[in-house]
Structure 1
Amino acid sequence: MSIPQAEAAFDLTAATDEWRHALIEVGGNNRLLFHRDTASVIRLPETGAAIEKLLEGGVVRLTELVESGTALATAKRACAAIARKEREAREEYGVSISYLAVGLASWDPSASERMADAVAEEVSGSATASALGKSSRTPLAPVLLRAVEVRRRQGAQDSWELQLVEDFQLNGVLTHVLNSDKRRIDVDDVEGIDGADQGDIELALDLVRSSCSDIPEFVIDPSLMIGTFTYMKQPMVNDISDTEALGKSTLVRALAGDSAAVRDIRDVRDATELRDPDYTPVDSEYLVLDADASQSYVVNAAIAGRTMVVQGPPGTGKSQTIANLIANLTASGKSVLFVAQKRAAVEAVLDRLDQTDLGHLVLDLFAATGSRRYVAEQLRVVLDRQQSALAPDVATLHTALDMSRRQLVDYHDQLHARAHGMGLSLADLRNRSLALVADAPAALLIPSRVFDDWDDSTRVAMGAKFEELHAIGALTPSWDEQHGWNPTQLQTHEQEREASLALSELAYSHMPQVFAGIERLKHDVTLSIPTTWGDLDSYASVVEAAVMARRAAGPLIELGVSDDELREMRAAFDRRYARDTGLK
């Protein structure tokens, strides 16, 4: 399929520039570019035995670096503040922000027009667009940074120890600004200097000075200080600048607006199904931790190349699934980059890999970026393990696993197969049986073969008919004892037809005559109009008695005879009535 010219000419640079503009910060809030002393900054002497010991990696007490008195008290408070901020940063983001800063670089930002324009163009549209490029404010940026551990001495209430760790590194924000209009500083050349003594430090600072000799009024003050320095977005800025590497990622191009890449991602179709793990050969599955069906599905979909977002509340196994995914991809010869916003999320996955003895496969970039020795040590461990690793004998284990899994899968299939009465599975029948009363009477037992030919539609139709019977009360035990139809007398279609005809004759012939007669009598009698079958029976009995009386003694009953005269006539024939009423 050919790609339209508009899509083929997609330029990733514009998107990366926009991303970089959103991330870069060259304003006064960036302490890596505009340093100022605060209560958490400790100024150190530039020379001395304690400084040499500190640069060599030794443990140095604060009292060896700062004189007693007010300066020492201020330094102790600064150590407490640095230790608190360092702890918060490590717990929240997993990064170190406590550094020894060597050298403060400054220059005239308005004198170098090319660099000023380049910086202003990079941050165009942001709130700090002119903070550096078009401002007269002089930058004061730390040059070299080396991580430092600030520890409270055990057994001492207010005594502190300091020790440098990892290697010196160039201030990334400073390098980014100084290289904005052209490449001046080679980071590898500067960071290749050991920095274990003051001579190495001076050599590194001189290299930066000579590289920036074309920048007007560029000077470096060889100050030493300990404080918190961080710009956590700088690594992202560096990655975004590598457009060649970004362009190789279909996902990144799609995020940048490349319609062809968007279509490629959306057109990915894989045959991953939830039940794939039930049939995947056991020797091609590399789940190192327990995984349920949904977690296995995520792993298989990712291996198949699907781009997806997996959501779940805490405690649902996301870290465990990531660890399984890393193990599977690594087993297939692929490299995996795992990133997270919080260091705790990274630690959760690393801990699970350590539990399965796969921690040696991981290179922790948080630690690797600060120390080349760490990287070398990690590589040494991996190479040593490769030489001593033996091919595991898993044939017996795989055979046993395959047999057990096949047995479970067969049991599952039989349990959930809809091949039984009413189109239900055994699992469905067991679930529905829970709603039945244990000692429920069953006067009528229907053989199971009756339901053999039923399917889902039959079951739904029959269910609707039973609901209708229940609605009219036909399923109640006393239905045949109540007024109305006797269901035991309707056992054949012929009986049903005869009853239907009788009902029609009653409804359309007899009942209209009955109500017409009641309508005529309502003005001559004081009886209530019947509204139920029981009322109608009573009404008919009274009318029948009146008819019989009229037939027996018609001449005696005239419309002109009053009620009192009727009572006297009755008393003449009925002595008990006469005695009860007092009539003679």
Structure 2
Amino acid sequence: MTQALTRTLDAARRKLLETGTRNRLIHVNRDNQRANCLNIIHERSDEIWRLLRLQGKRMRFRAMGSDTATPDGVLLLAAPGAEAVTDSQLETPLGPEALARRLLRLSHDARTAEEEQGLNVLYLAMGFLRWREAPGSQVLREAPLILLPVQLVRNERSSTFDLCAREDDLAANLPLQERLRQDFGIHLPEIDETETWTPGDYLTRVEEAVSGQRDWQVDRDGMQLGFFSFAKLLMHRDLDPANWPEGAFDGNPLLDGLLARGFAGDAPLFGDRDRLDDRLDPAQIIQVIDADASQTKVIEEVRAGASLVVQGPPGTGKSQTITNIIAAAAHDGKTVLFVAEKMAALSVVHDRLTRAGLRDICLELHSRSANKKALAQELGRTLMAGAHALPPAADPARLRQTRDRLNAITALLHDPLPPSGEPPFAAISSIIGLMGQGARPPAIPLAGLKALDAAARAEAQGAIARFVAARARTGPPEAHPFRGAGALDLQPT
């Protein structure tokens, strides 16, 4: 790998690394009762794990505090130090009204994040590491250790929210692992979820890993429901050359073009005046939804291997073009990874491909489909669908005939006609323009008009313009003093 590529890749990885204390995965202020999160008290991690993850139960929330404020305006919150109990309710330090408002806000924000970004960021943090940045530091940091993906589900009977575990993979605190490795040389254990795995066993291993640090502790039963995101750190790890086969980055033209040298200008496949029907046979065009000439050019440029950027305002057909590009690539035996910042963009293209009958070539790897169970089910369904014979390809001869017929009509409209040398399309456009201006049809003989060419029409228009100008100077003929001077046959009577 070249030095320029190495430097650019390292700089990009540094920007993705967020291991500062502003990151909630590095430090969580659990004493802040106004934060958009919810502390869970009087519960045991292993028991909550068993109910939510292993048994798949829905758990309700119980308000242990009071909504009544003290004289100094401080709400009465339940203390977290009571003995843990075993039931199907998660106890919280808030009062009933405050708990209802907090759950409503958490549910709304979680749904918004999933709709816009396509990923779940709502987790139940289980077990917290209490650590200090330096031996003499007076600031105690707290970081979550186990992140259980969860979702808030509306309880129709009680009009409240229940908590249930999602089928997504269990996550460890990746930013914390990176921070401790860089600053202290501590390697936190990885989470290897099996049938016998429990949070308690993992937290015991964490305690062993940090046992050499003074004043560091593990709060084994500390829990908090909140938003945690480590997508950037996952990208940071993906860009590490050590995680790839040796030499995978060397000589990669796409990576070298993106990060180092840029891309050379590709010769355009089509000229400005090229007719697509003269260059492309209908049997070669692979489009599952309608595309105009500009979109067809983009599709064929991509199929030819060109690197390009397509831009345009909303409503100009970018999603339609992407849909056709994916369909054409699948037809050509290629694999496509389609990524977007917003989930809506992914959904639009996926829906278009599904309506076009191409659901079996699509594998969703975002949102609720990004878990092992859903992935396995989708692969199984696709493999079963592949057992059926495909319908025969349509004969493009009829399409060629229709294309040639439409092109013949276009030629009749745009080819010049003798003796004037003007195409009918130009005449139609002129008439439509005059109608749009409210002009009345001329009351003149039509004989001989078809023989007028552009020069003769220009001369006639000039004569008419001079006549109009002269009349504007002399005024209406009825009011002219010499009106009737040429009438030589007047009688006395």
The two structures have a TM-score, normalised by structure 1, of: 0.63
Question: Superposition pairs for residues 445-460 of structure 1, below 5 Å?
Answer: 445-446=448-449, 448=451, 451=453, 459=454
Deviation string 1:333-372 (CA, Å, 9 cap, x unpaired) is 2222222222222211122122123233223222489522
Question: 1:445 is matched by which residue type in structure 2?
Answer: G
Corresponding residue number in structure 1 for 2:285: 285
Q: 1:69 to 1:289 in 2, by over 3 A?
A: same
1:140 partner SS: strand
Corresponding residue number in structure 1 for 2:44: 46
How far apart in 1 are the matches of 2:353 and 2:141?
45
Select the structure of larger CA radius of gyration.
Answer: 1
Deviation string 1:114-157 (CA, Å, 9 cap, x unpaired) is xxxxxxxxxxxxxxxxxxxx988554322221211112210323
Question: Superposition pairs for residues 345-364 of structure 1, below 5 Å?
Answer: 345-364=345-364
User: Which of 14, 21, 24 in structure 1 is aligned with 2:14?
Assistant: 21
**RMSD of aligned Cα (Å):** 4.0
Deviation string 1:256-281 (CA, Å, 9 cap, x unpaired) is 3x33x33x2x2444347774367533
Q: Is the 8 A contact 2:353 2:359 kept in 1?
A: yes
- Unaligned 5+ segments in structure 1 are 1-7, 112-133, 452-458, 484-533, 535-584
1:52 partner SS: helix
Q: 1:237 to 1:191 in 2, by over 3 A?
A: same
Larger mean CA deviation between 463-472 and 221-230 belongs to 463-472
Deviation at residue 468 of structure 1 after TM alignment: 4.8
Question: 1:102 is matched by which residue type in structure 2?
Answer: M
Corresponding residue number in structure 1 for 2:175: 173
Deviation at residue 106 of structure 1 after TM alignment: 4.4
Deviation string 1:272-314 (CA, Å, 9 cap, x unpaired) is 7774367533333321112222222222222223333323332
How far apart in 2 are the matches of 1:369 and 1:109?
39
Corresponding residue number in structure 2 for 1:506: none
Corresponding residue number in structure 2 for 1:501: none
How far apart in 2 are the matches of 1:370 and 1:391?
29
Deviation string 1:65-106 (CA, Å, 9 cap, x unpaired) is 335995666544432232122122123322222111122234
Q: 1:218 to 1:425 in 2, by over 3 A?
A: farther
1:190 partner SS: coil
Question: Superposition pairs for residues 483-562 of structure 1, below 5 Å?
Answer: none
Deviation at residue 327 of structure 1 after TM alignment: 1.1
Question: Superposition pairs for residues 386-405 of structure 1, below 5 Å?
Answer: 386-388=386-388, 390-396=389-395, 398-405=396-403
Q: Is the 8 A contact 1:99 1:228 kept in 2?
A: yes
Q: Is the 8 A contact 1:175 1:185 kept in 2?
A: yes
Deviation at residue 401 of structure 1 after TM alignment: 2.4
User: Which of 2, 13, 23 in structure 2 is aligned with 1:30?
Assistant: 23
Corresponding residue number in structure 1 for 2:298: 298
Question: Superposition pairs for residues 93-108 of structure 1, below 5 Å?
Answer: 93-108=117-132
Question: Superposition pairs for residues 288-437 of structure 1, below 5 Å?
Answer: 288-367=288-367, 371-388=371-388, 390-396=389-395, 398-418=396-416, 420-434=418-432, 435=434, 437=440
How far apart in 2 are the matches of 1:24 and 1:369?
27
Q: 1:58 to 1:75 in 2, by over 3 A?
A: same
How far apart in 1 are the matches of 2:224 and 2:191?
19
Higher percent of residues as helix: 1
1:472 partner SS: helix
1:80 aligns with 2:83: no
1:365 partner SS: coil
- Which structure has more relative contact order (CA 8 Å, sep 6+)? It is 2
How far apart in 2 are the matches of 1:70 and 1:439?
85
Question: 1:28 is matched by which residue type in structure 2?
Answer: T
Question: 1:253 is matched by which residue type in structure 2?
Answer: D
Q: Is the 8 A contact 1:12 1:247 kept in 2?
A: no
Q: 1:160 to 1:432 in 2, by over 3 A?
A: closer
Deviation string 1:458-510 (CA, Å, 9 cap, x unpaired) is x4x6666556545533998999xx99xxxxxxxxxxxxxxxxxxxxxxxxxxx
Q: Is the 8 A contact 1:340 1:346 kept in 2?
A: yes
How far apart in 1 are the matches of 2:219 and 2:258?
43
Q: Is the 8 A contact 2:45 2:199 kept in 1?
A: no
Q: 1:191 to 1:327 in 2, by over 3 A?
A: farther
1:62 partner SS: strand
Deviation string 1:357-407 (CA, Å, 9 cap, x unpaired) is 32332232224895222222222222122122x1212334x3332321221
Q: 1:297 to 1:46 in 2, by over 3 A?
A: same
Deviation at residue 213 of structure 1 after TM alignment: 7.1
Deviation at residue 225 of structure 1 after TM alignment: 2.7
Q: Is the 8 A contact 2:413 2:423 kept in 1?
A: yes
Q: Is the 8 A contact 1:190 1:207 kept in 2?
A: no
1:473 aligns with 2:472: no
How far apart in 1 are the matches of 2:267 and 2:311?
20
Q: Is the 8 A contact 1:303 1:329 kept in 2?
A: yes
Q: Is the 8 A contact 2:295 2:321 kept in 1?
A: yes
Question: 1:140 is matched by which residue type in structure 2?
Answer: E
Question: Superposition pairs for residues 215-254 of structure 1, below 5 Å?
Answer: 220-222=218-220, 223-242=222-241, 250=253, 252-254=255-257
Corresponding residue number in structure 2 for 1:270: 269
How far apart in 2 are the matches of 1:86 and 1:280?
48
Paired residues, number: 433
How far apart in 2 are the matches of 1:160 and 1:290?
45
How far apart in 2 are the matches of 1:240 and 1:278?
45
The two structures have a TM-score, normalised by structure 2, of: 0.74
Corresponding residue number in structure 2 for 1:161: 162
How far apart in 1 are the matches of 2:137 and 2:117?
33
- Unaligned 5+ segments in structure 2 are 63-87, 483-493
Q: 1:216 to 1:301 in 2, by over 3 A?
A: farther
How far apart in 2 are the matches of 1:445 and 1:413?
25
